[in-house]
Structure formats: structure tokens, C-alpha cells
């Protein structure tokens, strides 16, 4: 699966997921419900922070053009999702972007830690394909259509 990326590097959804199967299910479910027109898929924590902070290969991205939501896996290469969340919440520029953790971890310590760091929602990825796709659609609809975020 290729990485969806709008031509102008702007996004409504930033998906930070290293597992191509989980990313594919997420993207297909969002596409099916017409929620992924402007989705950026990033495969590790370093790439996520570079994109969000308009650094490195994303230095030309307009940092004022922020996504409506970040779907963040916890188990990522290079920099894990918890560290990415810390950096997001420490930044005056991007700290108001809603972050939804999408992870396979059911560990109570991960739930508590991410909420203490300011995550907006914590979702354990369902194992069954249909349940996973349905959960993604519901979460996407809520954060993109129902929820109102402040102007950044």
C-alpha cells in the first residue's frame, strides 16, 4: 500500500502507524466513509514529529495548517508513541490537536500514562477485521464531523 499524501502536505487526519496491515484497514475504513480525503500516513515517531513540527523532509509544510486529529499507535520504531505524545503536548504550536491512541496494548499503565500526558482518547484495536473497521469509522466520524476544535 502506498502512503496517501495530499499534494500540498496538508491533512485532516495524521495516521501514525508502522503496521501496514493496520494502516490499510484504517485507511480503507475511513475511505469507505468518505473521511480520508486528506490523510497522511506516517510510519514512525521521528517522521510524525517532523511532519507535525514542519521539520526535516516536511520543512516546506505550512505549520499553521494543522490536522483535525492524530491517530497514534504506541509501539512505533525510532521514537515510540508515548514520546511523540509528550512532544506534541509540550509544543505551543501543536498541543491543541486532538490525539487518539490506537493501539493493541490493553495495559492499564499505558492507558494511565497516555491520559496523564494529555491524550484525548485511548482505543484498543479490535482483533477482528470488521470490528476494527467499524471502530475506525466511528472514531473518524466523531473527530472529523462531530467534534469542534479551537483554531490553532
Domain assignment present for residue 2? The answer is no
Domain assignment present for residue 82? The answer is yes
Distance CA 16, CA 125 (A): 14
Of 50, 55, 62, the C-alpha closest to 7 is 62
pLDDT mean across residues, the chain: 89
pLDDT for 10:
64
Domain assignment present for residue 72? The answer is yes
Q: Domain range spanning residue 77?
A: 13-136
pLDDT for 8:
54
* Higher pLDDT pick, 37 / 112: 112
Domain assignment present for residue 147? The answer is no
Q: What is the CATH number of the domain that holds 17?
A: 3.40.50.2300
Domain assignment present for residue 141? The answer is no
Domain assignment present for residue 43? The answer is yes
DSSP β-bridge partners for residue 40: 14
Cα 93-147-94 angle, rounded to 5 deg: 10
pTM greater than 0.85: yes
* Number of compact structural domains in the chain: 1
Over residues 89-107, mean pLDDT: 93
Over residues 134-145, mean pLDDT: 86
Task: Considering only the C-alpha atoms of the chain, give the largest distance between any 2 of them, rounded to a whole number of Å.
Answer: 39
Task: Annotate 69-119 with DSSP letters as a single string.
Answer: EEEE-SS-SSS-HHHHHHHHHH-TTTTTS-EEEEES---HHHHHHHHHTT-
Over residues 124-139, mean pLDDT: 85
Asked whether residue 2 carries a pLDDT value surpassing 50, the answer given is: no
pLDDT range class, residue 128, cuts 50, 70, 90: confident
Distance CA 69, CA 50 (A): 16
Over residues 7-20, mean pLDDT: 83
Whether the Cβ atoms of residue 72 and residue 16 lie closer than 8 Å to each other: yes
Domain assignment present for residue 8? The answer is no
Domain assignment present for residue 77? The answer is yes
pLDDT for 147:
80
Q: For the segment 64-87, what is each residue's pLDDT rounded down to a tens digit?
A: 888 999 999 999 999 999 999 999
Q: For the segment 18-72, what is each residue's pLDDT rounded down to a tens digit?
A: 999 999 999 999 999 888 778 999 999 999 999 999 999 999 998 888 899 999 9
Amino acid at each position: 500500500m502506498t502512503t496517501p499524501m495530499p499534494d500540498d502536505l496538508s491533512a485532516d487526519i495524521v495516521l501514525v502507524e508502522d503496521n501496514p496491515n493496520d494502516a490499510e484497514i484504517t485507511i480503507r475504513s475511513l475511505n469507505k466513509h468518505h473521511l480520508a480525503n486528506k490523510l497522511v500516513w506516517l510510519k514512525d515517531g521521528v517522521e510524525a514529529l517532523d511532519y507535525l513540527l514542519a521539520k526535516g523532509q516536511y520543512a516546506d509544510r505550512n505549520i499553521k495548517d494543522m490536522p483535525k486529529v492524530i491517530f497514534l499507535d504506541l509501539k512505533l520504531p525510532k521514537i515510540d508513541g508515548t514520546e511523540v505524545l509528550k512532544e506534541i503536548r509540550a509544543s505551543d504550536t501543536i498541543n491543541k490537536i486532538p490525539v487518539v491512541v490506537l493501539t493493541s496494548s490493553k495495559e492499564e499503565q499505558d492507558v494511565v500514562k497516555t491520559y496523564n500526558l494529555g491524550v484525548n482518547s485511548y482505543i484498543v484495536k479490535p482483533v477482528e477485521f470488521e470490528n476494527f473497521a467499524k471502530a475506525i469509522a466511528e472514531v473518524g466520524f466523531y473527530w472529523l464531523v462531530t467534534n469542534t476544535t479551537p483554531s490553532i
